[in-house]
Amino acid sequence: MAVTKREEFTQEEIWLSDVAKAMSHPARIRILKILNETNSCIVGTLVDKLPLAQATVSQHLKELKRVGLIEGEIDGPKVCYCLNLKSLSKAKSAIDKLFSKIGCC
C-alpha cells in the first residue's frame, strides 16, 4: 500500500493539485464557462445547458464549491451559484507561477 507524504509538499502545491483535480472533468469546465458568461446561475439553468441529470450537475457543483472555485447562495428553494473570483485569481497565479519558465529549454 502506498503511503501519502502530504507533509512533504507545500500548502500551495496541495491546494493547486486539489483545484486541478476538481477541474479534471469536462462538465466542471463547462459549468465554469457558463458561470463566467452569466455571472451567476441557478442549478435549473445549468441543468438546461448541460447533457446531465440534475443530481449529476449538483455533484459537480459540490466539488467545485468544495475547492472554492464557486460560491452558492440559497435564494428560497433555489441555490444561485457564481464564480469565486478571488479563488480563481489565486489558482491562475499559482498556475502562471508553476509554468513561468516555459520556453526556456
pLDDT tens sequence across 42-87: 888 999 999 999 999 999 999 999 999 999 988 778 889 999 999 9
The cell numbers describing 23, all together, are 477541474
Q: Which residue has the higher pLDDT, 7 or 67?
A: 67
- Is 65 a member of any domain? yes
- Is 51 a member of any domain? yes
Q: Which domain, by its residues, includes 31? A: 11-94
- Is 103 a member of any domain? no
- Is 21 a member of any domain? yes
- Is 55 a member of any domain? yes
Domains contained in the chain, number: 1
Q: What is the pLDDT of residue 37?
A: 94
The residue-averaged pLDDT of 93-103 equals 86
Nearest-Å Rg of the Cα atoms of the chain is 16
- Is 49 a member of any domain? yes
Residue 33 has pLDDT above 80, yes or no: yes
Q: What is the pLDDT of residue 84?
A: 97
For residues 45 and 34, give the distance between their C-alpha atoms in angstroms, rounded to a whole number.
10
- Is 99 a member of any domain? no
> How many other CB atoms sit within 10 Å of the CB of residue 94?
16
